[in-house]
């Protein structure tokens, strides 16, 4: 299995629970945020993992982002 690390290229992109705008919004990602791409979802979306830093812990959540928002 291949994992790729990308960063968000656009000023703000939407992180969703599924590979479409019909799915629930999970978070907004800002330009420069790093995400781990774990899979593709069709030709326009990718599945990603994002690590959230809390006050006393780290948590990782999965979701989808439109792949044109990503850059190497």
pLDDT of residue 9: 66
3-state secondary structure the chain: CCCEEEEECCCEEEEECCCCCCCCEEEEEECCCEEEEEEEECCCEEEEEEEEECCCCEEEEEEEEEHHHEEC
CATH number of 4-71: 2.30.30.40
pLDDT by residue (tens digit) across 28-65? 888 888 888 999 999 999 999 888 777 888 888 899 99
């Amino acid at each position: 299995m291949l994992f790729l690390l990308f960063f968000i290229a656009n000023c703000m992109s939407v992180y969703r629970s599924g590979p479409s705008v019909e799915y629930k919004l999970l978070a907004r990602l800002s330009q420069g945020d790093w995400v781990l791409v774990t899979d593709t979802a069709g030709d326009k979306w990718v599945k990603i993992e994002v690590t959230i830093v809390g006050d006393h812990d780290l948590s990782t959540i999965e979701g989808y982002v439109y792949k044109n928002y990503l850059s190497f």
